Structure 1
Amino acid sequence: MRGFLIALTFFTRLPLPSPKVEVTSEEFALSYRYYPLVGLVIGLILWLLAKGLSPFFPPLALGALLLVVELMLTGGLHLDGFMDSMDGLLSARSPERILEIMKDSRVGAHASMALAGLLLLKFSLLASLTPSQFAILLIMPMLSRWVFQIGIVAFPYARTQGLGKGIHDTTHWIPFLIAGAAVLGVSYLLAGFAGLITWGVCVIAVTLWASRISSLLGGLTGDLYGAIIELSEVVCLLAAFPLLR
C-alpha cells in the first residue's frame, strides 16, 4: 500500500496526505510496480467524468474537459518530458548535443510544435468518443504507464545519473511481465477484442520507437520515458477507436 501511495503521489496531483516516514530513493524506485494501477485510478476519474457530463455537454466541450482534467491530474509531468525530448530529437544534431538540448529546461520551437500536434490529435480523438467507447478512458492511462516500462527493462539508460536512473536500475523483467499480463486481462475485460489489439499495437509501437531512439542516443532517459507515456496514450486511442465503433 505504501508503494502505491508513493507512486500515486509522484504521478498525480491528487490531494493525498504526505507520508509519515520520508520516502527513500529505493522505495521510490520500487514503486514502479504500481504505475499501471495509478493509471487505472486516473482512467476511472476520466471515465466517471465522461459518463456524468456526456448528457449535458457537446462532444467538443467534453473532449476539452477530459484533456484539461487529465493535465490537471498529472500536473503535465509527462508532457514536460515529451517537450524536452522533442526539442532534442527534432534538432537533427549529434547524439551528444541532443542529450544536452534535452537537459535544457528552456522550451524551443520544436517542443512547441510537437506539443501543439500531440494535444490537437489527442483532443480530436477524445472529442470523437461516444458513450459506448468510454471504456478506452480506463485503458489508455493504465496501458501507457505499463508499456513505457519496455523502455526501462529492454534498453540501457543513456545518462550516468538522473531521476529515471534509479527506476531503470531496479526494474526487472518478471514483475514487468506479470503487470503486463494483468493489464492485458483488464483491457480485455473492459473492451474485449479491441483491448487485446490495442495492447499489442502499443507494445509494438513503443518497442520500435524505443529501439530507434536507443540506437541513436545509446539508451533512453527519464524525459524519454515521459514522452513514451504521452505518445502511447495517443497510440492507444488511435488503435482502439476504429475497433470500438
Structure 2
Amino acid sequence: MRGFIIALTFFTRIPFPLPKDVSSEEFIKSYRFYPAVGLVLGLLLWLLAKILLPYYPPLVLGALILGAELMLTGGIHLDGFMDSMDGLLSARSPEKILDIMKDSRVGAHASMALVGLLLLKFTLLANLTVSKLPLLIVMPMLSRWVFQIGMIGFPYARSQGLGKGFHEATQWIPFVLSGITVCGISFYLLGFAGPLAFVISSLIISLIAFKISSLLGGLTGDLYGAFIELSEVIILLVAFPFV
C-alpha cells in the first residue's frame, strides 16, 4: 500500500498526503504500482465524463476530459514525449540526439509532435459515447503497463539518471503478473477490444523501443514517458471501433 501511495503522489497531481521518509529504493520500486495509478486516473476521468456527458456537446466534453487528464498528471509524461520527439526527429547522430533530449528547451519538432498527439487524442475523446466511456478507465491503466516493456526489455542508454534506477529494478515476474491483471480488467470492461488493445499496443511499443534502442544503444527516462503518451493514443485507436 505504501508503494502505491508513493507512486500516486509522485506521478500525479492528486492531492494526497506524501509518505514520510521515502527512500530512493522505495521510490524506484513503486513502478510496480503504475498500472494501479493509471486505474485511479481512469476512474476519475470516467466519473467526470459520466457526469458531464448529458450536459455538454462532444467537442466541449472532449476538451474537458483532455484538460482534466493533463491536470491530474501535471503533464509529466508529455514532457518526456516532447524531449524525445525533439531528439528523434532531428535526424542527428545518436550522441547528438541524446544531448537534444537532455536539453529542457522546447524545439519545433517537439511542438509539432505535441500538437499532433493532443489533436488526435482530443478527436477520439470528443467522440466518446456512453458505451465507449470504459475506454477512459482502460487507457491510462493499460498504458502504464505497456511502457514497462521498454524498461524491462531494453538497455538504458545513459550511464546515470532516474530512469536507470527504474530499469535496474524491473523484474519479470511482477511485470507478467500485472500484465495478466490489466489484460483481465481490460477484457471485463471492453470485451475482446480490451485484449486486442493490450496486444497491439504492446507490439507497437515493442517495435518502436527496438528501433530506438538500436539507434541509441538503449532507452531513456524521457522515452519511458513518451511510450505512455503514445500507447494511450494507440489503445484508443485500436479499441474505439469495437466498443
**Aligning the two structures, in what range does the TM-score lie when normalised by the shorter sequence?**
over 0.9
Q: Which SS does the other structure have where 1:156 is aligned?
A: coil
Work out the CA distance in 2 between the residues paired with 1:216 and 1:163.
21
Work out the CA distance in 2 between the residues paired with 1:6 and 1:86.
29
What is the aligned partner in structure 2 of residue 4 from structure 1?
A: 4
Q: Which deviations, in whole Å up to 9, do the C-alpha atoms of 1:91-117 show, x marking residues without a partner? A: 000000000000000000000000000
Q: In the alignment, residue 16 of structure 1 is paired with which amino acid?
A: F
What is the aligned partner in structure 2 of residue 17 from structure 1?
A: 17
Query: Is the counterpart of residue 181 in structure 1 residue 180 in structure 2?
Result: yes
What is the aligned partner in structure 1 of residue 26 from structure 2?
A: 27
Query: Is the counterpart of residue 221 in structure 1 residue 220 in structure 2?
Result: yes
Residue 11 of structure 1: CA displacement? 1.3
TM-score calculated relative to the size of structure 2: 0.99
Q: In the alignment, residue 13 of structure 1 is paired with which amino acid?
A: R
Work out the CA distance in 2 between the residues paired with 1:121 and 1:141.
16
Residue 213 of structure 1: CA displacement? 0.4
Q: In the alignment, residue 231 of structure 2 is paired with which amino acid?
A: S
What is the aligned partner in structure 2 of residue 203 from structure 1?
A: 202
What is the aligned partner in structure 2 of residue 112 from structure 1?
A: 111
What is the aligned partner in structure 2 of residue 86 from structure 1?
A: 85
TM-score calculated relative to the size of structure 1: 0.98
Q: Which deviations, in whole Å up to 9, do the C-alpha atoms of 1:30-49 show, x marking residues without a partner? A: 10110000000000000000
Q: In the alignment, residue 182 of structure 1 is paired with which amino acid?
A: T
Q: Which deviations, in whole Å up to 9, do the C-alpha atoms of 1:98-151 show, x marking residues without a partner? A: 000000000000000000000000000000111110011000000000000000
Residue 18 of structure 1: CA displacement? 1.9
- CA-atom RMSD, angstroms? 0.5
What is the aligned partner in structure 1 of residue 152 from structure 2?
A: 153
Residue 19 of structure 1: CA displacement? 1.4
Work out the CA distance in 2 between the residues paired with 1:14 and 1:89.
32
Work out the CA distance in 1 between the residues paired with 2:201 and 2:44.
22
Unaligned segments of structure 1, at least 5 residues: none
Work out the CA distance in 1 between the residues paired with 2:10 and 2:119.
26
Work out the CA distance in 1 between the residues paired with 2:181 and 2:222.
26
Work out the CA distance in 2 between the residues paired with 1:32 and 1:153.
11
Structure 1's consecutive aligned runs of 4 or more residues displaced over 4 angstroms after TM superposition are: none
Residue 10 of structure 1: CA displacement? 1.4
Unaligned segments of structure 2, at least 5 residues: none
Work out the CA distance in 1 between the residues paired with 2:32 and 2:19.
18
Q: In the alignment, residue 7 of structure 2 is paired with which amino acid?
A: A
State the percentage of identical aligned residues.
70
| Number of corresponding residues | 243
What is the aligned partner in structure 2 of residue 230 from structure 1?
A: 229
What is the aligned partner in structure 2 of residue 69 from structure 1?
A: 68
